[in-house]
Amino acid sequence: MSASYEKIYSTVKRIPRGQVATYGQIAELSGIPRQARRIGYALSALDDGSVVPWQRVINSKGEISERPFADLQQTLLKKEGVVFSKEGRIDLTRFQWKPGQRT
DNA sequence: AAACTGACTAATA
DNA sequence: CTATTAGCCAGTT
């Protein structure tokens, strides 16, 4: 795998439980602004043994991107305390991760 | 090396 | 709200 992905993963791993972050946010925190696409691309390369909380990474609309595991992701987040609206959206004003925040 | 791809985002209309 | 357009650029083929 590519080393570039490692920093993306490390950033994703820093997302506190019960919170989420957007692709663009992860990209910036990883030191690669405007590379939102890289995030999803990198996460898609994750294998089963990964310990990366990929489920906490969502798009800017507060929704889960279309993909085979979308519903699983939603379920996992709910178990962490994240609340979804009827339309399956997350209130980013409440659940988006704010870097620097202490847990 | 060149073309193709993609879990995105923001701006317009 | 939906649809379209353009920007982004490393990894894969």
Residues A23-61: tens digit of each pLDDT: 999 999 998 888 999 999 899 888 777 899 999 999 999
Q: Is A23 left (phi over 0), alpha (psi -120 to 50) or beta?
A: alpha
N-term to C-term CA, chain A = 31
Indicate the pTM of the whole model: 0.92
Residue A74 has pLDDT above 90, yes or no: yes
pLDDT at position A13? 93
Residue A68 has pLDDT above 90, yes or no: no
Distance A16 CA to C9 C1' (A): 29
CB atoms within 10 A of CB A65: 14
Distance A60 CA to B11 C1' (A): 14
Distance A48 CA to B2 C1' (A): 33
Place A1 in a pLDDT band, splitting at 50, 70 and 90: low
Nucleotide nearest A61 (Cα, C1'): B9
Share of chain A above pLDDT 90, in %: 64
pLDDT at position A49? 78
